[in-house]
Amino acid sequence: MLDVTEGNRLALAQAAERRRRWTVFEQTRCFQFTRSVTGAFRYPPELLALTGYSQEIVDDGFMRVLPEEREHWRSFGFERWMAGQPYRATPLVPFADGRRERLAAVFVPVRDAQGRVFEWSNITTPASAGRVEISGGALAGLEQAVRGNHLRAARALLDWSMQDLARASGLSFSTIRRLEDNAEGPAARSRHGAIAALRAAGIRFVLMDGSRIAVARR
């Protein structure tokens, strides 16, 4: 039998989440969404509210970009989408009220246990707002893109040895070595464990313009 009560709880929770996101959008002009690599996709209502476009018009997402920049960002995004690389784009977008504003859009592939991309997570903010903290699926995907050179750079900032990182993360020395040698798959749970220990020690992994991941210490 269908559990109507459970279904109602889920519907209420989803409605509450939509209200929360809309409140955040109204205050910050920040919104986020995910896009599966298969199946139909609908842009979030926040984007439609900003641009004044209908869902049908923005089926081609680049139609919301200023015409003189459209092909640049189309080829820029397509190249990284096909390569499965996270990237940050800053297109100029005309708004429904007649203004133009440059947005900062972060696109991050999220991979399954076999390393296959199953969805892309997006966070979009006004570029003038500076960089925002990435969370949820986008954070998981960004961490999957952290490579051995990033881990070594993070250790250098902390003056840590591989043994120090192993101790802090609760991982074995050999696991840390495999991570730094890029011998572990991108979706390996050990990667998230090592990154969590580095974050706790003050390290930040920041997606810069393009697809470069910078490593910094707070």
pLDDT digits (tens, 9 = 90+) for 179-195: 999 999 988 999 999 99
More confident residue, 58 or 178: 178
Domain check: are 166 and 201 in the same one? yes
Q: Decide if pLDDT at 1 tops 60.
A: no
Domain check: are 106 and 182 in the same one? no
Domain check: are 57 and 104 in the same one? yes
**Using 50, 70 and 90 to split pLDDT, how confident is the model at 39?**
low
| 9 in any annotated domain | no
Q: Are 137 and 121 in contact (CB under 8 A)?
A: yes
Quick one: average pLDDT of 23-29? 68
Quick one: average pLDDT of 171-179? 98
Distances (CA, A) of 122 to 24, 33, 141, 169, 213: 15, 5, 10, 28, 16
Q: What percent of the chain has pLDDT over 90?
A: 52
Q: Where are the alpha helices (DSSP H) in the chain?
A: 4-28, 45-51, 67-83, 136-144, 148-158, 162-169, 173-180, 189-200
Last residue of a domain, one of 88, 121, 141: 141
pLDDT at site 141: 94
pLDDT at site 195: 98
If one counts every other C-beta atom within 10 angstroms of the C-beta of residue 197, the result is 22
**Using 50, 70 and 90 to split pLDDT, how confident is the model at 109?**
very high
Q: Decide if pLDDT at 88 tops 90.
A: yes
3-class SS of residue 124: strand
Angle of CA points 89, 184, 197, to nearest 5°: 75
Domain harbouring 42, CATH code? 3.30.450.20
Residue 206 corresponds to which tokens in the numbers above?
Answer: 């920041």
Domain check: are 48 and 67 in the same one? yes
Residue 164 corresponds to which tokens in the numbers above?
Answer: 């120090």
Q: Decide if pLDDT at 47 tops 90.
A: no
More confident residue, 180 or 133: 180
Domain check: are 158 and 80 in the same one? no
pLDDT at site 133: 76
